[in-house]
């Protein structure tokens, strides 16, 4: 990934180093590597794919943080916190270009197609959210949104790994579904952590989504069991509410059963994923994927 | 191209329709179609390629106009003039994704690679310009810049068309060079028109680049023959100069020999392009490419 800025303007190297040094869990490339390992993918092409996926993810984060005006990610300054919007847009574009080049280096046209489709899905999801940030407060909309935002990239990780492997269409589709299930669980847990986490650790206020009028699963479950809540009505309709009212709502959601219901929902996704894995070739990689899937619902909860 | 927003958020269709309805010369896809026609490319894949190239170009314009704060392009409102920066960034990303999907639909991994390389070249060029908008005032830097900005896309148009055609490596390289030559000429003429055009027609002030401290070929030739000009020195060093001084400089450049010298330079690029074409298979498409190459230096001059 770091080699992708070679021969380019030096500041691109600085940006890429900054973005990559923040680490992150690298869960998407890990899923791709383990899936490909389990299915017997060509090793070199698989590593190229994993780097392409992480760079695609990184590029979308660069533009997202710019759009949201986020100043911190993973505890370190975002690019837009330090650079002009122009430089940030272009750096994101550059990383897209490098992700596309790496994807092309897998030498698989089907991988390339899935790659391009996934980027379109992610961006279309963000635009849909942008054009209707209020009023989309049903679980159906939520699941669509997190599919576009997160699960699509996990489907790419597993689906593209299968495309580089000597497996039949059925197995390829199954392993893609596995990516879907753990991707959905991953985002639900992220959304639970947005409520249960501490402000300092994640670098943003608790319930940051709700503050922007965005209803994630814990808020949706709470809303369903408390239909008359006035702050929720105001958030949905763009009406007025007090800061105290919002803080109180967050406290109520945190101690309500909505958190556990959300975790249970994530757990069901993971369980479906684990069931799919049972039909996969037994291997150390399969075991690692099982561990990873279970870890998703246990991290920090 | 218009079909690319199907099944997506309706506002994306609106945006794409708006961007595509403005027309533009469509010179890049025309070059791709004629080159592929001349070399015997598969017709269907060639059309897909041409659409991919125009969309890639469109996506870069969407982000460029946002970055430059441009309000008009081709006489109609830019996307960023009507939409938020967030929506504009994402729409550009979406069009990138669709361009990449179309490129993948050519079923050629080498086309995909060239595509990704070209995007990286364009973006790296823009970043280089952004990080050093003043002080880069040599013809060498200028030629590098217009290669990245414009000629690289013409190389993509001809080079990728060759990749879809039954031709040997030598001919493919030659036709790519043809793209380079006419692409360089095309941008030089654009830069001449920036000085000689009228404000109302192009929708931006005369010498808009120079006003931003960016030296294009006419300004560079003028500078070389007028080394002591104070406004030029101020532009180069970020110093102070009066509006009247700048207007006077523009008038001086317009009536100086720098304009003709720039046109002559463009003509030399075109002539090299025409020489390359002589070794290509005779065909109606070759004749059309010759006409197109000659048209480049005659349009509006």
Report d(CA A6, CA A9) in Å as an integer. Answer: 8
Q: What is the DSSP string of B244-295?
A: HHHHHHHHHHHHSTHHHHHHHHHHHHHHHHHHHHHTSPPSHHHHHHHHHHHH
Residue of A nearest to B10 (CA): A128
Name the β-bridge partners of B77.
B72
Q: Count of H helices and E strands in chain B? A: 16, 2
pLDDT, mean over chain B: 91
Q: Which of A28-42, A54-68, A200-214, B143-157 has the lowest mean pLDDT?
A: A200-214
Instruction: State the pLDDT at residue A199.
Output: 61
In this prediction, what percent of chain B has a pLDDT beyond 70? 96
Report d(CA A248, CA A259) in Å as an integer. Answer: 16
Report d(CA A237, CA A297) in Å as an integer. Answer: 33
Distance from CA of A267 to the nearest CA of B (A): 30
Per-residue pLDDT averaged across B22-28, rounded?
84
ipTM associated with this complex: 0.87
Distance from CA of B104 to the nearest CA of A (A): 6
Chain A hits for B124, Cβ within 8 Å: 8-9, 12, 94
Neighbours of B148 (CB within 10 A): 21
Structural domains for chain A: 2-298 (1.10.600.10)
Distance from CA of A222 to the nearest CA of B (A): 28
Put simply, the answer to whether B97 touches A123 (Cβ < 8 Å) is yes
Distance from CA of B278 to the nearest CA of A (A): 33
Under 8 Å between Cβ of A161 and A175 = yes
Per-residue pLDDT averaged across B195-203, rounded?
68
Chain B hits for A52, Cβ within 8 Å: none
Residue of A nearest to B63 (CA): A89
What letter does residue B77 receive in the DSSP assignment? E
Residue of B nearest to A119 (CA): B97
Closest CA to A253 of A205, A217, A228: A217
Report d(CA B86, CA A126) in Å as an integer. Answer: 10
Selecting from B8, B89, B115 the residue whose C-beta is nearest the C-beta of A124 gives: B8
Q: What is the DSSP string of A166-185?
A: S--HHHHHHHHHHHHHHHHH
- Write out pLDDT tens, residues A222-279: 999 998 888 888 888 877 888 899 999 999 999 999 999 999 999 999 999 999 999 9
Closest CA to A159 of A50, A56, A271, A32: A32
Report d(CA A289, CA A267) in Å as an integer. Answer: 15
Selecting from B66, B101, B124 the residue whose C-beta is nearest the C-beta of A120 gives: B101
Q: In angstroms, what CA-CA distances link B65 with A120, B91, B191, B285?
A: 21, 12, 17, 33
Selecting from A9, A89, A107 the residue whose C-beta is nearest the C-beta of B124 gives: A9
Q: How big is chain A by its Cα radius of gyration, in Å?
A: 20
B→A contacts (Cβ < 8 Å), by residue, are 8-9, 11-12, 60, 63, 66-67, 84-87, 89-94, 96-98, 100-101, 103-105, 107-109, 112-113, 115-117, 119-120, 123-124, 126-128, 130-131
Put simply, the answer to whether B124 touches A87 (Cβ < 8 Å) is no
Put simply, the answer to whether A86 touches B67 (Cβ < 8 Å) is yes
- Write out pLDDT tens, residues B219-262: 999 999 998 888 888 888 877 888 899 999 999 999 999 999 99
Q: Which of A51-60, A101-110, B206-215 has the lowest mean pLDDT?
A: B206-215
Chain B hits for A109, Cβ within 8 Å: 104, 107-109, 112
- Write out pLDDT tens, residues A144-161: 999 999 999 999 999 999
Distance from CA of A121 to the nearest CA of B (A): 9
Q: Residues A103, A144, B83, CA angle at the centre, nearest 5°?
A: 80
- Write out pLDDT tens, residues B71-90: 888 778 889 998 889 999 99
> Helix, strand, coil: what percent of chain B each, to 5?
75, 0, 20
The residue ranges of DSSP E strands in A199-290, in sequence order, are none
Selecting from A86, A92, A109 the residue whose C-beta is nearest the C-beta of B104 gives: A109
pLDDT, mean over chain A: 91
Over 70: is that where the pLDDT of B202 sits?
Answer: no
Report d(CA B117, CA B167) in Å as an integer. Answer: 22
Distance from CA of B301 to the nearest CA of A (A): 33
Residue of B nearest to A59 (CA): B93
Collapsing DSSP to helix, strand or coil, A73 comes out as: strand
């Amino acid at each position: 990934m770091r080699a992708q800025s070679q021969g380019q303007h030096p500041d691109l190297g600085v940006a890429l180093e900054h973005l990559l040094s923040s680490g992150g869990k690298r869960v998407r490339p890990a899923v791709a590597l383990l899936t490909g390992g389990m299915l017997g993918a060509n090793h070199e092409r698989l590593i190229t794919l994993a780097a392409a996926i992480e760079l695609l993810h990184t590029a979308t984060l660069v533009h997202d943080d710019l759009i949201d005006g986020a100043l911190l990610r993973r505890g370190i300054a975002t690019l837009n916190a330090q650079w002009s919007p122009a430089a940030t847009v272009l750096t994101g574009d550059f990383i897209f270009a490098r992700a596309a080049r790496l994807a092309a280096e897998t030498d698989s046209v089907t991988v390339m197609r899935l790659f391009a489709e996934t980027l379109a899905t992610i961006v279309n999801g963000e635009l849909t959210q942008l054009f209707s940030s209020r009023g989309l407060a049903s679980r159906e909309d939520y699941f669509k949104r997190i599919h576009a935002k997160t699960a699509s990239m996990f489907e790419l990780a597993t689906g593209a790994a299968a495309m580089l492997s000597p497996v039949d269409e059925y197995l390829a589709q199954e392993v893609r579904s596995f990516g879907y299930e753990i991707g959905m669980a991953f985002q639900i847990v992220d959304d639970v952590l947005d409520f249960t986490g501490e402000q300092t650790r994640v670098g943003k206020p608790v319930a940051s989504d709700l503050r922007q009028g965005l209803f994630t699963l814990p808020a949706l479950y709470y809303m369903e069991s408390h239909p008359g809540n006035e702050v929720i009505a105001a958030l949905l309709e763009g009406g007025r509410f007090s800061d105290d009212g919002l803080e109180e709502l967050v406290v109520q959601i945190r101690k309500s059963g909505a958190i556990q219901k959300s975790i249970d929902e994530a757990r069901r996704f993971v369980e479906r994923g684990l069931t799919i894995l049972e039909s996969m070739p037994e291997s150390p990689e399969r075991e690692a994927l099982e561990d990873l899937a279970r870890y998703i619902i246990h991290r920090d909860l």
